[in-house]
Chain A
Amino acid sequence: MFPIFLALFGLLVAALAAGIAFREFTKKIAIVASGFVLAAMTAVMLIMFFLHISISQNYMYIPQLNMGLSFSINPISIVLLMMSSIVIFVSALISKDGGASLLTIIFEISALGLFASSNLLLFYIFWDIGVIAIFFIINVFGSAERKGAAFKFLVYSIAASSLLLAGILLIYSYLPIHSFNIQYIIQNSQSIPEFVQWLIFVFLAAAFIIKMPIFPFHSWIGGAYTEAPTGGSMLISGVLSKYGAYGLLLLFLMMPIAHQLAGYIAILAGFSAFYAIFVAIGQIDIKMMFAYLSMAEMAIITLGITSFTALGESGALYGMLAYGLGMALLFMIAGSVEYMFNSRNISIIKGIIENSVSTTYSFLLGAFSATGVPLTAGFIADLLIFIGAFEGFGFYGLIPLAAIVLIGAYLYFVASKSFLSSHKHTEAAFLIEKKVKVGYAILLFFIFFFGVFPFIFLNVI
């Protein structure tokens, strides 16, 4: 069984086919390919749940340098693989442009490769493939001010990538046997001198913080999230931001010095959560608002990671799943709203329920997930993250829960103002398409599925 090779190869073939041979069918090819990956990942998830196995594949590429292709699907990576294949499938489904679909396939290669790689070099390579794909999605298919936004995104991403590469190379060269293998690094990282560890931690943590983002390296999200097309915003908020969180999780597993420095990251994350939600309150652009909500949620995930408890880390992982799906849903709604009203200004958008009942209720359910209402995946995430945070930091760890209150208060404010209200003067231009409704349904199904059956992942971890 070679699920990852197969999936990556299949996607590559699909991308080539879509890009070169059958240009008129690109959208369909993207849907079929990502649907195939989603089905495969679902199968892998069920197999892993019932048989309790991990899958790993290795292929030595440059033996002299101890480099190679090595993938493994373990209980941690399957969560993110599942999440990203769902989000990417929906994103491909609602894509309006063939070119964006092609880039979505390429991004899927990146996401699958990154979350499944058991090797930091591959991690780096797939990370950059993702950045490039997103850059083109924003730059080519975005809205009016896309060029500047894409450029800013690229600058930040290059900074993150170079820090990442520097950190990875430091790890590689200071290990007793040079290696990129994550398992090997986890076992042998205590032999790295403390100062170098410190340096590695700073480099990698900075790279991941830029990607998540956490205050103060968040300036790129304003442009990137808002100017990207709907599918692109979904990919950034759902999947790309999880690259950083997943990397941070790996960093905390790999570097023993993280124990000493976790507190600083936690304080930064706590501050970032409040900062983001307050900035979100100040927004009038619905996509901008969701961008900062996503930032607040990433900060809460970070809190779980930095708690250094098993529960906190499972919670953070579950949070990546729950918030990934939830934010993708919210951005999809923002896209539909923009499509309906031709505006993103929440003081103009009114009476969505009279135009589209499905959008309204999807928003409410998405808000429930974001505020951790039970039976949505968000609840499991919040519960575990905050048990971890309480065990790690005591009562201080519970303070960021206030950010969730603010998130909820603000989301319901928007709900009553824009969604569950009636409009007198504004008229919606269009009705939303059926495939968008299917997209909502898929995301909501999984949000509730993972909220009701959390044991599929958690009992295995």
Chain B
Amino acid sequence: MFALFAVLPVLISSLLILAIRKNRAAKYIALAGSIISLAFAVIVFLTPSAQYSVDWFSASNLVFHITIVTYALNKILLLLVAAITPLIFTYSIGFMDVQREQSRFYTEIGIFAAAMMLFAISGNLITMFIAWEVLGITSYLLIGFWYNKQKPPLAARKSITTIIIGDIFFLMAIVVILSAYGTTNIASLISTAQNSHIQLPLDASLIFILVAVFTKSAQFPFHEWLSDAMEGPTPVSAFLHSSTMVKAGVFLVMVLLPLYAMANLEWILLVIGIASATVAIMNALSEHHIKKILAYSTIEDLSLMLIALGLNNLLAALLLFIVQTFYKALLFMGAGYVMKANDGEEDIFKVYNIKKNKMLFATVVIGVLSLAGVAPFGGFFAKASLDSSATDIYVYAALLAFDLLSSMYIFRWLIVPSGKSDKNMQYKAPRSMAIPMAILAAFTAISGISFFALGMNSAQPLNILDMVIESGLVISGFIISYLFYAKGLLPNVSLYSLKYRIMHNSFFLNIFYYKIAGFFEELGEQFDLFDHSVNRLFNMCGGTLVRSGNFIRKVENGNVNVYAVIFVFGIVALLAVFEIVAVL
């Protein structure tokens, strides 16, 4: 119950901003709320685990609860979100410098943060679903924040359309679980499922949840929305990719992992994880957009987490989950910095040299090293421990390839903009943007500690071979990138070349989606035509009645001769009928 106090300050501050609509005060109110939330989250983190449940409503024999739990996983996610939120808000003070957008921005992002915090501490699927949907719709509003530009409304529409599919699958899972087990409480669900043998509903609902997870965490084949979502403001991207939204899907699998293990469905996680990582890496290697490369790298990180979960290695997934939060937020902030300095230029081949800005370069390098998996940083431990838990040779080979290639694309991301010497970056960002980056860089630098804090050094110690292989691959990735992009061994991949098109279309998926959307529109027109003919059919019935009325009316024309003829014929017909009846 106390955990709710961590959610409320952010929520109340954003509602307050909505109520008073003072653009100038919005950022401070939001920041204050998020700091209070962080304080509460720290307290929650230090207090023992608890579960609190309250009846929401009941219908016939089912009772629906709102459940708040603070188990270890919940506390970690809550603390992560609460810690990132003030940093993002601080960064936004510098980044979102248009005055009249302020109150709208802080309202939406505040609700977004609150929803993620609620998601972190929710203990049953109903509560999760509430947070999940609020996350979805606020992300929709935030991605389409600059509605007066060309692309953001389309990106927002794409994301919400994908997300709504996931939402409905989540709802389906809840429906099936509720009718099969009568509860959505995750703890009791896990214990009931162990004792009972209702296979089909459990399998079905777990697969439904996986679809929801893949939409939310942007996994193949639902990953297309995430790179488009870069149209939103950069603080939103930093937030969405580091601790909120996309992490919700992975977190859901984490808390339900015992059920997946029980139902033997972990292979789906492996297959989809490897497929998504492959697609993401291909896109990241060919992409030019400074934020989209990071977006694809997020997809890959999430895939690695899902692969770790598929290998039943919860700790490795959790470690990557924690570490990724810091370095990804940091890198996005760096990307925002670069874009701000270049008047919104987003092509890494066109931006100014970032090497001259020492502070920016230093922080970004720390983030890149952690992402690539260089030795003392958190990413290294996560990747090495993930590699060592692979039992299947194919999975292991895939993981090694991902190590190499992800190091390649992220060093490409770093080397390309820092190579040119002719254009130097003059821009100095305001302190509100620099300070959160410095803090995050510090966190990223020491994030390797979480390997020991999670107790992984005793639970799953790394062996030397894995560490050496991982480091070797990362270093070769760096060398290849350096040779390709700094020394110019590989010419710039043009946006129109065949190579780019092959690497960058995610197996024609995007085109396929547009085809589907076009097909539905076409179908709509056909249905509309059909509906018109249904309409005409009913109109024709009416018309026939009118026409037959008009026809019969001609009999009553006032001409006595006609009446007499009809009268005679009538008498004859009547007599004939009587005769026939009498004979029969």
Contact = CB atoms under 8 A, between A and B. Distances in A.
A386 B147 CA distance: 35
Interface in A399-417: 401-402, 404-406, 408-409, 412-413, 415-417
A216 B534 contact: yes
Given A373-B133, A374-B133, A386-B171, A416 B58 contact: no
A412 B523 contact: no
Given A219-B535, A383-B171, A401-B172, A281 B520 contact: yes
A116 B58 CA distance: 24
Interface string A362-389: 0010001001111100011011101100
B264 interface: no
Interface stretch (B32-40, B173-181, B254-262, B553-561): B173-181
B525 A282 contact: yes
Contacts of B531: 222, 275, 279, 282
Interface in B499-558: 520-521, 523-531, 534-535, 538-539, 542
B394 interface: no
Interface string B185-213: 00000000000000000001000000000
A314 B60 CA distance: 8
Contacts of B172: 386, 398, 401
A155 B539 CA distance: 11
A458 B527 contact: no
B528 A283 contact: yes
Given A374-B129, A386-B175, A387-B179, A401 B168 contact: yes
A454 interface: yes
B147 A353 contact: yes
Interface in A419-441: 420-422
B124 to A, nearest CB: 13
B165 interface: yes
A386 B173 CA distance: 11
Contacts of B160: 408, 412
A445 interface: no
Nearest to B545: A155
Interface stretch (B22-30, B148-156, B399-407, B408-416): B148-156
Given A310-B60, A454-B57, A458-B57, A278 B140 contact: no
B59 A395 contact: no
Interface string A111-149: 000000000000000000000000000000000000000
A36 interface: no
B204 A395 contact: yes
Contact of B521 (A281, A383, A384, A461): A281
A338 interface: no
B59 A282 contact: no
Contacts of A278: 520, 523-524, 527
A398 B176 CA distance: 9
Contact of A420 (B129, B147, B179, B535): B147
Contact of B59 (A311, A401, A415): A311
Contacts of B154: 416
A375 B133 CA distance: 10
Contacts of B530: 279
B188 to A, nearest CB: 18
A22 interface: no
Q: Which of B178, B530, B531 has the most CB of A within 10 A?
A: B531
A368 B137 contact: yes
A374 to B, nearest CB: 4
Contact of B520 (A371, A406, A417, A459): A406
Given A282-B527, A375-B134, A408-B164, A422 B147 contact: yes
A281 B137 contact: no
Interface in B5-60: 55-60
B62 interface: yes
Nearest to A414: B157
Nearest to B162: A409
A280 interface: yes
Contact of A415 (B157, B524, B538): B157
A420 to B, nearest CB: 4
A222 B536 CA distance: 12
For chain B, give the interface size range: 35 or more
Interface in B38-88: 55-62
Contacts of A383: 171, 174-175
A314 B59 contact: yes
Residue among B55, B178, B523 facing the most chain A CB atoms (10 A cut-off)? B178
Contact of B164 (A216, A279, A311, A371): A371
Contact of B524 (A281, A364, A368): A281
Given A374-B130, A409-B161, A416-B154, A401 B527 contact: no
B165 A374 contact: no
Contacts of A386: 171-172, 175
A374 B138 CA distance: 13
B524 A282 contact: yes
B123 to A, nearest CB: 16
A459 B58 contact: yes
Given A219-B538, A454-B56, A420 B527 contact: no
A401 B157 contact: no
B56 A455 contact: yes
A384 B147 contact: no
B379 interface: no
A172 interface: no
A275 B164 CA distance: 20
B168 A405 contact: yes
A87 to B, nearest CB: 23
Nearest to A357: B104
A420 B59 CA distance: 38
B436 interface: no
Nearest to A387: B175
Nearest to A412: B160
Contact of B535 (A222, A309, A374): A222
A191 B179 CA distance: 34
Nearest to A371: B164
Contacts of B204: 395
A9 to B, nearest CB: 35
30 contacts: A219-B534, A275-B531, A278-B527, A279-B530, A282-B527, A282-B529, A310-B61, A311-B60, A314-B59, A364-B141, A371-B167, A373-B133, A373-B134, A374-B133, A386-B171, A401-B168, A405-B164, A408-B160, A408-B164, A412-B157, A412-B160, A412-B164, A417-B153, A421-B147, A421-B153, A455-B55, A459-B57, A459-B58, A461-B59, A461-B60
Given A282-B525, A282-B527, A314-B59, 18 more contacts: A275-B527, A281-B520, A282-B528, A375-B134, A379-B133, A386-B171, A386-B172, A387-B179, A390-B175, A395-B204, A405-B164, A408-B161, A409-B161, A412-B156, A412-B164, A420-B144, A420-B153, A461-B59
Q: Which 9 A-B pairs have the closest CB atoms?
A: A281-B524, A282-B528, A282-B524, A310-B60, A422-B148, A455-B57, A416-B153, A278-B527, A374-B130
